Amino acid sequence: MSSLSYNPVDIIRRKRDGKVLSGEEIAHFVADYSRGAIPDYQASALLMAIFFSGLSESELVALTESMLHSGEVLDLSEIPGIKVDKHSTGGVGDKVSLHLAPTVAACGVRVPMISGRGLGHSGGTLDKLESIPGFSTGLSTEEFRTVLRRTGLSLIGQTETLVPADKLLYALRDVTATVESIPLIAASIMSKKLAEGIDGLVLDVKVGSGAFMKTREAATKLAATLVAIGRRAGKHVTAFLTDMDQPLGRYVGNAAEVNESLAVLRGEGPADLTELNRVLGAEMLRMAGVCSSEADAFSRIEHAIISGEALARLQRCAAMQGALVDLRDPNEPWLFDNLHTGAQTLLAPASGYVQRMDAEAVGFAGVALRAGRERKEDTIDPAAYIYLDRKVGEAVTAGQPLCHFAGAADLPKDRIERARSLLSDAYVIGPSPTPARPLILDVLR
Ligand code: URA
Protein backbone atom coordinates (compact mmCIF):
# COMPACT_ATOMS: atom_id res chain seq x y z
CA MET A 1 0.00 0.00 0.00
CA SER A 2 1.35 3.46 -0.82
CA SER A 3 1.88 5.97 1.97
CA LEU A 4 -0.75 8.62 2.59
CA SER A 5 -0.36 12.19 3.79
CA TYR A 6 -3.04 11.66 6.46
CA ASN A 7 -4.14 8.88 8.76
CA PRO A 8 -7.35 7.14 7.58
CA VAL A 9 -7.90 6.00 11.18
CA ASP A 10 -8.34 9.66 12.26
CA ILE A 11 -11.03 10.13 9.62
CA ILE A 12 -12.83 6.95 10.69
CA ARG A 13 -12.58 7.87 14.36
CA ARG A 14 -13.92 11.40 13.85
CA LYS A 15 -16.87 10.14 11.81
CA ARG A 16 -17.51 7.44 14.38
CA ASP A 17 -17.66 10.21 17.02
CA GLY A 18 -20.18 12.19 14.96
CA LYS A 19 -17.79 14.94 13.82
CA VAL A 20 -18.13 16.65 10.44
CA LEU A 21 -15.43 15.74 7.92
CA SER A 22 -14.07 18.30 5.50
CA GLY A 23 -14.68 17.97 1.77
CA GLU A 24 -10.96 17.49 1.31
CA GLU A 25 -10.81 14.60 3.76
CA ILE A 26 -13.70 12.86 2.03
CA ALA A 27 -12.20 13.47 -1.41
CA HIS A 28 -8.83 12.04 -0.31
CA PHE A 29 -10.38 8.99 1.31
CA VAL A 30 -12.54 8.18 -1.74
CA ALA A 31 -9.70 8.77 -4.21
CA ASP A 32 -7.24 6.70 -2.18
CA TYR A 33 -9.68 3.84 -1.68
CA SER A 34 -10.48 3.85 -5.42
CA ARG A 35 -6.80 3.49 -6.32
CA GLY A 36 -6.27 0.68 -3.82
CA ALA A 37 -4.28 2.72 -1.29
CA ILE A 38 -6.84 2.20 1.50
CA PRO A 39 -7.81 -1.38 2.33
CA ASP A 40 -11.37 -2.72 2.43
CA TYR A 41 -11.34 -3.03 6.22
CA GLN A 42 -10.78 0.71 6.68
CA ALA A 43 -13.34 1.63 4.04
CA SER A 44 -15.80 -0.76 5.73
CA ALA A 45 -15.19 0.94 9.06
CA LEU A 46 -15.84 4.37 7.57
CA LEU A 47 -19.02 3.10 5.90
CA MET A 48 -20.24 1.76 9.24
CA ALA A 49 -19.36 5.06 10.95
CA ILE A 50 -21.38 6.91 8.29
CA PHE A 51 -24.19 4.39 8.72
CA PHE A 52 -24.46 5.30 12.42
CA SER A 53 -23.43 8.98 12.42
CA GLY A 54 -24.91 10.10 9.08
CA LEU A 55 -23.51 12.89 6.93
CA SER A 56 -24.14 16.63 6.98
CA GLU A 57 -25.33 18.25 3.76
CA SER A 58 -21.83 19.45 2.91
CA GLU A 59 -20.36 15.99 3.58
CA LEU A 60 -23.00 14.38 1.37
CA VAL A 61 -22.24 16.77 -1.47
CA ALA A 62 -18.53 16.06 -1.03
CA LEU A 63 -19.06 12.29 -1.00
CA THR A 64 -21.28 12.36 -4.11
CA GLU A 65 -18.85 14.60 -6.01
CA SER A 66 -15.81 12.55 -4.96
CA MET A 67 -17.51 9.37 -6.16
CA LEU A 68 -18.71 11.05 -9.36
CA HIS A 69 -15.23 12.37 -10.16
CA SER A 70 -13.52 9.09 -9.33
CA GLY A 71 -14.00 8.42 -13.04
CA GLU A 72 -15.11 10.03 -16.26
CA VAL A 73 -18.22 12.23 -16.38
CA LEU A 74 -19.85 11.64 -19.74
CA ASP A 75 -20.78 14.45 -22.06
CA LEU A 76 -23.38 13.07 -24.46
CA SER A 77 -24.24 16.42 -26.04
CA GLU A 78 -23.05 15.22 -29.45
CA ILE A 79 -25.84 12.62 -29.42
CA PRO A 80 -29.02 14.41 -30.44
CA GLY A 81 -32.09 14.42 -28.22
CA ILE A 82 -32.89 14.67 -24.55
CA LYS A 83 -31.43 11.90 -22.39
CA VAL A 84 -33.48 10.69 -19.46
CA ASP A 85 -32.82 7.81 -17.09
CA LYS A 86 -34.63 6.04 -14.26
CA HIS A 87 -33.23 4.48 -11.11
CA SER A 88 -34.85 2.46 -8.38
CA THR A 89 -33.61 2.54 -4.80
CA GLY A 90 -33.89 -1.24 -4.77
CA GLY A 91 -36.48 -3.88 -4.12
CA VAL A 92 -37.41 -7.51 -4.56
CA GLY A 93 -38.57 -8.68 -7.97
CA ASP A 94 -37.90 -5.15 -9.26
CA LYS A 95 -37.02 -5.75 -12.88
CA VAL A 96 -38.68 -2.55 -14.15
CA SER A 97 -35.53 -1.04 -15.71
CA LEU A 98 -35.26 -4.01 -18.09
CA HIS A 99 -38.53 -3.19 -19.83
CA LEU A 100 -38.81 0.53 -19.07
CA ALA A 101 -35.56 1.56 -20.78
CA PRO A 102 -36.47 0.00 -24.16
CA THR A 103 -40.07 1.20 -23.89
CA VAL A 104 -39.00 4.81 -23.41
CA ALA A 105 -36.30 4.47 -26.09
CA ALA A 106 -38.98 3.21 -28.49
CA CYS A 107 -40.89 6.44 -27.79
CA GLY A 108 -37.91 8.50 -29.01
CA VAL A 109 -36.09 9.32 -25.77
CA ARG A 110 -32.45 8.29 -25.26
CA VAL A 111 -31.86 6.25 -22.12
CA PRO A 112 -28.22 5.97 -20.99
CA MET A 113 -28.42 3.70 -17.95
CA ILE A 114 -25.68 2.83 -15.44
CA SER A 115 -27.06 0.27 -13.00
CA GLY A 116 -25.85 -1.79 -10.07
CA ARG A 117 -25.70 -5.41 -8.98
CA GLY A 118 -27.81 -7.06 -6.32
CA LEU A 119 -27.47 -5.29 -3.01
CA GLY A 120 -28.33 -7.06 0.25
CA HIS A 121 -31.67 -8.78 -0.21
CA SER A 122 -32.53 -6.71 -3.31
CA GLY A 123 -31.83 -7.69 -6.89
CA GLY A 124 -29.70 -5.70 -9.33
CA THR A 125 -30.23 -4.89 -13.00
CA LEU A 126 -26.68 -5.95 -13.94
CA ASP A 127 -27.02 -9.44 -12.48
CA LYS A 128 -30.32 -9.84 -14.32
CA LEU A 129 -28.89 -8.66 -17.65
CA GLU A 130 -25.87 -10.94 -17.29
CA SER A 131 -28.18 -13.94 -17.07
CA ILE A 132 -28.80 -13.36 -20.80
CA PRO A 133 -26.16 -15.49 -22.54
CA GLY A 134 -23.36 -13.27 -23.88
CA PHE A 135 -24.78 -9.96 -22.60
CA SER A 136 -21.96 -7.67 -21.47
CA THR A 137 -22.58 -4.84 -19.01
CA GLY A 138 -18.91 -3.83 -18.96
CA LEU A 139 -18.69 -1.68 -22.10
CA SER A 140 -16.09 1.02 -22.68
CA THR A 141 -17.53 4.52 -22.73
CA GLU A 142 -17.07 4.61 -26.52
CA GLU A 143 -19.07 1.38 -26.89
CA PHE A 144 -21.71 2.78 -24.51
CA ARG A 145 -22.06 5.89 -26.69
CA THR A 146 -22.27 3.81 -29.87
CA VAL A 147 -25.00 1.52 -28.51
CA LEU A 148 -26.91 4.53 -27.18
CA ARG A 149 -26.64 6.38 -30.49
CA ARG A 150 -27.74 3.39 -32.57
CA THR A 151 -30.45 1.86 -30.39
CA GLY A 152 -31.63 4.67 -28.11
CA LEU A 153 -30.52 2.89 -24.95
CA SER A 154 -27.54 1.24 -23.39
CA LEU A 155 -27.46 -0.69 -20.11
CA ILE A 156 -24.13 -0.93 -18.35
CA GLY A 157 -22.53 -1.03 -14.89
CA GLN A 158 -19.94 1.01 -13.09
CA THR A 159 -16.50 0.34 -14.59
CA GLU A 160 -12.87 1.14 -13.84
CA THR A 161 -13.41 4.43 -15.67
CA LEU A 162 -17.08 5.20 -14.88
CA VAL A 163 -17.82 5.81 -11.19
CA PRO A 164 -15.17 3.28 -10.05
CA ALA A 165 -15.61 4.47 -6.45
CA ASP A 166 -19.24 3.36 -6.52
CA LYS A 167 -18.29 0.05 -8.10
CA LEU A 168 -16.00 -0.66 -5.14
CA LEU A 169 -18.07 0.87 -2.33
CA TYR A 170 -21.29 -0.70 -3.62
CA ALA A 171 -19.78 -4.19 -3.51
CA LEU A 172 -18.35 -3.49 -0.04
CA ARG A 173 -21.66 -2.17 1.35
CA ASP A 174 -23.42 -5.25 0.02
CA VAL A 175 -21.46 -7.50 2.37
CA THR A 176 -20.89 -5.23 5.37
CA ALA A 177 -24.53 -4.45 6.30
CA THR A 178 -24.09 -0.79 5.35
CA VAL A 179 -26.69 -0.53 2.62
CA GLU A 180 -29.65 0.99 4.47
CA SER A 181 -28.24 4.47 4.93
CA ILE A 182 -29.82 7.52 3.31
CA PRO A 183 -26.53 9.34 2.61
CA LEU A 184 -24.78 6.21 1.32
CA ILE A 185 -27.70 5.32 -0.96
CA ALA A 186 -28.02 8.91 -2.16
CA ALA A 187 -24.30 9.30 -2.95
CA SER A 188 -24.23 5.90 -4.68
CA ILE A 189 -27.24 6.55 -6.88
CA MET A 190 -26.54 10.16 -7.73
CA SER A 191 -22.83 9.68 -8.46
CA LYS A 192 -23.80 7.05 -11.06
CA LYS A 193 -26.61 9.09 -12.53
CA LEU A 194 -24.65 12.36 -12.72
CA ALA A 195 -21.85 10.51 -14.53
CA GLU A 196 -24.22 9.49 -17.32
CA GLY A 197 -24.58 12.83 -19.05
CA ILE A 198 -28.37 12.85 -18.62
CA ASP A 199 -30.76 15.80 -18.73
CA GLY A 200 -33.40 14.27 -16.50
CA LEU A 201 -33.89 11.48 -14.00
CA VAL A 202 -36.96 9.64 -12.71
CA LEU A 203 -36.40 8.00 -9.35
CA ASP A 204 -38.43 5.09 -8.06
CA VAL A 205 -38.04 5.27 -4.30
CA LYS A 206 -39.28 2.03 -2.82
CA VAL A 207 -41.15 1.89 0.48
CA GLY A 208 -42.00 -1.15 2.56
CA SER A 209 -40.83 -4.50 3.81
CA GLY A 210 -38.72 -5.25 0.71
CA ALA A 211 -37.19 -1.78 0.46
CA PHE A 212 -34.19 -0.31 2.24
CA MET A 213 -36.57 2.36 3.54
CA LYS A 214 -39.29 0.56 5.49
CA THR A 215 -41.40 3.60 6.32
CA ARG A 216 -42.92 6.33 4.25
CA GLU A 217 -41.20 8.92 6.37
CA ALA A 218 -37.73 7.47 5.69
CA ALA A 219 -38.51 7.01 1.98
CA THR A 220 -39.71 10.61 1.70
CA LYS A 221 -36.48 11.77 3.30
CA LEU A 222 -34.43 9.68 0.87
CA ALA A 223 -36.47 10.98 -2.08
CA ALA A 224 -35.99 14.60 -1.00
CA THR A 225 -32.24 14.02 -0.56
CA LEU A 226 -31.93 12.49 -4.04
CA VAL A 227 -33.99 15.24 -5.66
CA ALA A 228 -31.94 17.96 -3.93
CA ILE A 229 -28.64 16.51 -5.19
CA GLY A 230 -30.02 16.25 -8.73
CA ARG A 231 -31.39 19.79 -8.72
CA ARG A 232 -28.11 21.14 -7.38
CA ALA A 233 -26.45 19.56 -10.42
CA GLY A 234 -28.97 21.26 -12.74
CA LYS A 235 -30.96 18.14 -13.66
CA HIS A 236 -34.71 17.65 -13.91
CA VAL A 237 -35.58 15.12 -11.23
CA THR A 238 -38.88 13.52 -10.24
CA ALA A 239 -39.14 10.98 -7.44
CA PHE A 240 -42.01 8.52 -7.14
CA LEU A 241 -42.63 6.73 -3.86
CA THR A 242 -43.86 3.27 -4.77
CA ASP A 243 -44.92 0.20 -2.86
CA MET A 244 -42.41 -2.51 -1.98
CA ASP A 245 -44.42 -4.26 0.71
CA GLN A 246 -44.46 -7.32 -1.52
CA PRO A 247 -42.25 -8.38 -4.45
CA LEU A 248 -43.04 -6.95 -7.87
CA GLY A 249 -44.38 -9.44 -10.39
CA ARG A 250 -44.41 -13.17 -9.61
CA TYR A 251 -40.73 -14.02 -10.09
CA VAL A 252 -37.62 -13.33 -8.04
CA GLY A 253 -34.28 -14.49 -9.45
CA ASN A 254 -32.14 -13.21 -12.28
CA ALA A 255 -33.02 -15.14 -15.46
CA ALA A 256 -36.60 -15.58 -14.26
CA GLU A 257 -36.95 -11.82 -13.90
CA VAL A 258 -35.65 -11.24 -17.41
CA ASN A 259 -38.32 -13.64 -18.65
CA GLU A 260 -40.98 -11.71 -16.77
CA SER A 261 -39.74 -8.40 -18.16
CA LEU A 262 -39.89 -9.81 -21.67
CA ALA A 263 -43.51 -10.73 -20.93
CA VAL A 264 -44.18 -7.05 -20.14
CA LEU A 265 -42.63 -6.11 -23.47
CA ARG A 266 -44.89 -8.63 -25.23
CA GLY A 267 -47.90 -7.01 -23.53
CA GLU A 268 -48.40 -10.07 -21.32
CA GLY A 269 -46.79 -8.89 -18.09
CA PRO A 270 -48.29 -8.75 -14.61
CA ALA A 271 -50.35 -5.67 -13.75
CA ASP A 272 -47.89 -4.12 -11.25
CA LEU A 273 -44.89 -4.24 -13.61
CA THR A 274 -46.99 -3.00 -16.52
CA GLU A 275 -48.34 -0.12 -14.43
CA LEU A 276 -44.89 1.01 -13.29
CA ASN A 277 -43.75 0.88 -16.91
CA ARG A 278 -46.63 3.16 -17.86
CA VAL A 279 -46.34 5.65 -15.02
CA LEU A 280 -42.55 5.98 -14.81
CA GLY A 281 -42.33 5.90 -18.61
CA ALA A 282 -44.89 8.69 -18.96
CA GLU A 283 -42.87 10.85 -16.59
CA MET A 284 -39.72 10.20 -18.62
CA LEU A 285 -41.53 11.21 -21.82
CA ARG A 286 -42.90 14.33 -20.12
CA MET A 287 -39.41 15.28 -18.96
CA ALA A 288 -38.03 14.80 -22.44
CA GLY A 289 -40.84 16.91 -23.89
CA VAL A 290 -41.95 14.26 -26.38
CA CYS A 291 -45.62 14.10 -25.40
CA SER A 292 -48.39 16.67 -25.30
CA SER A 293 -50.20 15.33 -22.22
CA GLU A 294 -50.22 12.41 -19.81
CA ALA A 295 -52.84 10.67 -21.98
CA ASP A 296 -50.59 11.12 -25.01
CA ALA A 297 -47.64 9.65 -23.06
CA PHE A 298 -49.69 6.62 -22.01
CA SER A 299 -50.83 6.03 -25.55
CA ARG A 300 -47.26 6.28 -26.93
CA ILE A 301 -46.11 3.76 -24.34
CA GLU A 302 -48.94 1.40 -25.18
CA HIS A 303 -48.12 1.71 -28.87
CA ALA A 304 -44.42 0.99 -28.20
CA ILE A 305 -45.46 -2.30 -26.58
CA ILE A 306 -48.25 -3.34 -28.96
CA SER A 307 -46.20 -2.56 -32.07
CA GLY A 308 -43.31 -4.68 -30.75
CA GLU A 309 -40.94 -1.70 -31.08
CA ALA A 310 -39.99 -1.72 -27.37
CA LEU A 311 -39.02 -5.39 -27.53
CA ALA A 312 -37.18 -4.82 -30.82
CA ARG A 313 -35.20 -2.00 -29.15
CA LEU A 314 -34.15 -4.25 -26.30
CA GLN A 315 -33.09 -6.92 -28.77
CA ARG A 316 -31.05 -4.41 -30.80
CA CYS A 317 -29.32 -3.13 -27.67
CA ALA A 318 -28.77 -6.67 -26.33
CA ALA A 319 -27.31 -7.85 -29.65
CA MET A 320 -24.90 -4.90 -29.70
CA GLN A 321 -23.92 -5.69 -26.11
CA GLY A 322 -23.08 -9.28 -27.02
CA ALA A 323 -26.33 -11.23 -26.38
CA LEU A 324 -26.34 -14.57 -28.15
CA VAL A 325 -30.09 -15.15 -28.00
CA ASP A 326 -33.07 -13.53 -29.69
CA LEU A 327 -35.15 -11.91 -26.96
CA ARG A 328 -38.03 -11.37 -29.40
CA ASP A 329 -38.56 -15.06 -29.96
CA PRO A 330 -41.05 -16.51 -27.45
CA ASN A 331 -39.88 -19.98 -28.51
CA GLU A 332 -36.22 -19.19 -27.88
CA PRO A 333 -34.92 -22.34 -26.10
CA TRP A 334 -32.99 -20.18 -23.63
CA LEU A 335 -36.29 -18.89 -22.24
CA PHE A 336 -37.24 -22.41 -21.21
CA ASP A 337 -33.81 -23.73 -20.30
CA ASN A 338 -32.62 -20.94 -18.08
CA LEU A 339 -34.32 -21.92 -14.81
CA HIS A 340 -33.45 -24.85 -12.57
CA THR A 341 -35.80 -27.78 -12.71
CA GLY A 342 -36.84 -29.73 -9.62
CA ALA A 343 -38.49 -26.82 -7.84
CA GLN A 344 -39.58 -27.20 -4.24
CA THR A 345 -43.07 -26.12 -3.23
CA LEU A 346 -44.16 -24.28 -0.11
CA LEU A 347 -47.72 -25.24 0.78
CA ALA A 348 -50.20 -23.06 2.63
CA PRO A 349 -50.49 -24.20 6.27
CA ALA A 350 -54.06 -22.86 6.52
CA SER A 351 -56.90 -21.61 4.36
CA GLY A 352 -57.55 -17.90 4.07
CA TYR A 353 -56.03 -14.89 2.37
CA VAL A 354 -52.47 -13.69 2.07
CA GLN A 355 -52.69 -10.63 4.28
CA ARG A 356 -49.05 -9.57 4.26
CA MET A 357 -45.70 -10.60 2.84
CA ASP A 358 -42.26 -9.86 4.16
CA ALA A 359 -40.62 -9.01 0.85
CA GLU A 360 -37.19 -8.71 2.46
CA ALA A 361 -37.44 -12.33 3.65
CA VAL A 362 -38.34 -13.36 0.09
CA GLY A 363 -35.23 -11.49 -1.11
CA PHE A 364 -33.04 -13.25 1.44
CA ALA A 365 -34.57 -16.59 0.41
CA GLY A 366 -33.30 -15.74 -3.08
CA VAL A 367 -29.85 -15.06 -1.62
CA ALA A 368 -29.95 -18.45 0.15
CA LEU A 369 -30.62 -20.01 -3.28
CA ARG A 370 -27.59 -18.05 -4.55
CA ALA A 371 -29.58 -15.54 -6.63
CA GLY A 372 -27.64 -12.89 -4.64
CA ARG A 373 -24.31 -12.60 -2.84
CA GLU A 374 -23.22 -12.97 0.77
CA ARG A 375 -19.56 -12.25 0.10
CA LYS A 376 -17.97 -9.97 -2.46
CA GLU A 377 -16.35 -12.81 -4.34
CA ASP A 378 -19.52 -14.97 -4.50
CA THR A 379 -20.71 -15.83 -7.97
CA ILE A 380 -24.44 -15.81 -8.34
CA ASP A 381 -26.58 -18.50 -9.89
CA PRO A 382 -28.66 -16.90 -12.67
CA ALA A 383 -31.01 -19.90 -12.81
CA ALA A 384 -32.07 -19.82 -9.13
CA TYR A 385 -35.60 -18.51 -8.74
CA ILE A 386 -38.73 -18.15 -6.63
CA TYR A 387 -42.17 -18.12 -8.19
CA LEU A 388 -44.93 -16.58 -6.07
CA ASP A 389 -48.15 -18.46 -6.65
CA ARG A 390 -49.91 -16.23 -4.15
CA LYS A 391 -49.50 -12.55 -3.40
CA VAL A 392 -51.18 -10.11 -1.03
CA GLY A 393 -54.98 -10.14 -1.19
CA GLU A 394 -55.17 -13.55 -2.88
CA ALA A 395 -57.08 -16.52 -1.47
CA VAL A 396 -55.48 -19.86 -0.72
CA THR A 397 -56.71 -23.21 0.60
CA ALA A 398 -54.65 -25.20 3.08
CA GLY A 399 -52.29 -27.49 1.17
CA GLN A 400 -52.26 -25.36 -1.99
CA PRO A 401 -48.94 -23.87 -3.13
CA LEU A 402 -47.90 -20.46 -1.83
CA CYS A 403 -44.73 -20.44 -3.89
CA HIS A 404 -42.16 -22.58 -5.71
CA PHE A 405 -38.41 -22.17 -5.48
CA ALA A 406 -35.33 -23.79 -6.95
CA GLY A 407 -31.56 -23.67 -6.71
CA ALA A 408 -28.83 -25.69 -8.40
CA ALA A 409 -28.93 -29.48 -7.98
CA ASP A 410 -25.75 -29.32 -5.85
CA LEU A 411 -27.00 -26.49 -3.62
CA PRO A 412 -26.38 -27.58 -0.01
CA LYS A 413 -29.53 -28.81 1.73
CA ASP A 414 -29.23 -26.27 4.52
CA ARG A 415 -29.56 -23.47 1.96
CA ILE A 416 -32.76 -24.97 0.57
CA GLU A 417 -34.05 -25.29 4.12
CA ARG A 418 -33.08 -21.69 4.90
CA ALA A 419 -34.96 -20.54 1.79
CA ARG A 420 -37.99 -22.60 2.79
CA SER A 421 -38.03 -21.24 6.31
CA LEU A 422 -37.63 -17.61 5.14
CA LEU A 423 -40.44 -18.02 2.61
CA SER A 424 -42.67 -19.71 5.13
CA ASP A 425 -42.14 -16.86 7.61
CA ALA A 426 -42.66 -14.31 4.81
CA TYR A 427 -46.33 -15.23 4.29
CA VAL A 428 -48.98 -14.04 6.74
CA ILE A 429 -52.29 -15.79 6.11
CA GLY A 430 -55.48 -14.64 7.81
CA PRO A 431 -59.21 -15.21 7.56
CA SER A 432 -60.15 -12.02 5.70
CA PRO A 433 -58.79 -10.36 2.57
CA THR A 434 -56.59 -7.30 3.06
CA PRO A 435 -56.23 -5.25 -0.07
CA ALA A 436 -52.68 -4.64 -1.29
CA ARG A 437 -51.42 -1.09 -0.87
CA PRO A 438 -51.68 1.18 -3.93
CA LEU A 439 -48.61 0.87 -6.14
CA ILE A 440 -47.93 4.58 -6.52
CA LEU A 441 -47.86 6.25 -3.12
CA ASP A 442 -46.60 9.74 -3.84
CA VAL A 443 -44.74 11.92 -6.35
CA LEU A 444 -42.15 14.62 -5.60
CA ARG A 445 -41.63 16.88 -8.58
N1 URA B 1 -29.12 1.70 -5.82
C2 URA B 1 -27.85 2.18 -5.88
O3 URA B 1 -27.33 2.44 -6.95
N4 URA B 1 -27.18 2.35 -4.75
C5 URA B 1 -27.72 2.09 -3.54
O6 URA B 1 -27.05 2.29 -2.55
C7 URA B 1 -29.03 1.59 -3.48
C8 URA B 1 -29.72 1.41 -4.65
Per-residue pLDDT of the chain (445 residues; tens, 9 = 90+): 457 889 999 999 999 999 999 999 999 999 999 999 999 999 999 999 999 999 999 999 999 999 999 999 999 999 999 999 999 999 999 999 999 999 999 999 999 999 999 999 999 999 999 999 999 999 999 999 999 999 999 999 999 999 999 999 999 998 999 999 999 999 999 999 999 999 999 999 999 999 999 999 999 999 999 999 999 999 999 999 999 999 999 999 999 999 999 999 999 999 999 999 999 999 999 999 999 999 999 999 999 999 999 999 999 999 999 999 999 998 999 988 999 999 999 999 999 999 999 999 999 999 999 999 998 889 999 999 999 999 999 999 999 999 999 999 999 999 999 999 999 999 999 999 988 789 999 999 8
- Contacts of residues 265-268 at CB distance under 8 Å and 24 or more positions apart, as own/partner, are 265/99, 265/102, 265/103, 265/305, 265/310, 265/311, 265/314, 266/305, 266/311, 266/330, 267/305, 267/306
Give the pLDDT confidence score for residue 144 in this predicted structure.
97
Query: CATH 3.40.1030.10 residue ranges in the chain?
Result: 84-320
Give the pLDDT confidence score for residue 267 in this predicted structure.
97
Give the pLDDT confidence score for residue 252 in this predicted structure.
98
Query: CATH 3.90.1170.30 residue ranges in the chain?
Result: 335-430
Residue 331's CB is within 10 A of a number of other CB atoms, namely 7
What is the spatial distance between Cα 315 and Cα 320, in angstroms, rounded to a whole number?
8
CATH number for 84-320 (one of 3.90.850.10, 3.40.50.1240, 3.40.1030.10, 3.30.1330.10): it is 3.40.1030.10
In angstroms, what is the span from residue 173 Cα to ligand 1's centroid? 10
Does residue 185 have its Cβ closer than 6 Å to ligand 1? yes
Q: What is the pTM of this model?
A: 0.95
- List the residue whose alpha carbon is closest to atom 2 of ligand 1: 189
Selecting among 83, 192, 193, 300, the annotated active-site residue is: 192
Query: CATH 1.20.970.10 residue ranges in the chain?
Result: 8-54
What is the spatial distance between Cα 165 and Cα 288, in angstroms, rounded to a whole number?
29
Q: Which one of 96, 179, 181 would you pick to mutate in the ligand 1 pocket, going by the greatest count of ligand atoms within 8 A of its CB?
A: 179
- List the residue whose alpha carbon is closest to atom 6 of ligand 1: 185
Q: Which one of 119, 163, 168 would you pick to mutate in the ligand 1 pocket, going by the greatest count of ligand atoms within 8 A of its CB?
A: 119
Does residue 188 have its Cβ closer than 6 Å to ligand 1? yes
- Which ligand 1 atom sits closest to the C-alpha of 122? 8
* 206, 83 Cβ separation under 8 angstroms: no
Topology of the domain comprising 8-54? 1.20.970
Selecting among 94, 166, 204, 243, the annotated active-site residue is: 166
Relative to beta strand 427-430, strand 352-357 is antiparallel
Give the pLDDT confidence score for residue 437 in this predicted structure.
86
- The CA-atom distances, in angstroms, between 306 and each of 141, 190, 278, 300, 312 are 32, 33, 13, 10, 11
335-430 — its CATH code? 3.90.1170.30
Give the pLDDT confidence score for residue 375 in this predicted structure.
86
Q: Which one of 188, 190, 244 would you pick to mutate in the ligand 1 pocket, going by the greatest count of ligand atoms within 8 A of its CB?
A: 188
Q: Is 174 a catalytic residue?
A: no
